[in-house]
Amino acid sequence: MIVHEKEKAMHTDEKKKYDKRIMEIHFRRGMVLPKDYETYLSKLPDVSNKVYNPEEEDLEEGEGLDSRGDSEEDARRKGMKKRGKG
């Protein structure tokens, strides 16, 4: 496979060099080595504590209970019954 210099210098922004969506192309063209990519990934900060977990929010707001003490599912069922009669 012949790789042209123009193709080898495809990325101009260093921030986009390791973009997950184009890594396969970069690997094939020899623009990035898998070893370099692994090194890049290992240097990224751990942001797992910033992941949104809706279940945690329910627990913080009273275990999913509304003001009357009914669970959200009970409240939903009651709401469905009211709409069905109407």
pLDDT digits (tens, 9 = 90+) for 12-66: 677 788 999 999 999 999 989 999 999 999 999 999 999 988 887 766 665 545 4
In a domain? residue 75: yes
In a domain? residue 38: no
In a domain? residue 42: no
Residue 74, CB half-sphere, CA atoms under 13 Å: how many? 8
Note the pLDDT of residue 33: 93
Given a cut of 80, is residue 83 above it in pLDDT? no
- How sure is the predictor about 70, in pLDDT bands with cuts at 50, 70 and 90? low
In a domain? residue 46: no
In a domain? residue 74: yes
Q: How many structural domains comprise the chain? A: 2
In a domain? residue 47: no
Note the pLDDT of residue 76: 65
Q: What is the pTM of this model?
A: 0.47
Residue 16 lies in domain:
5-32
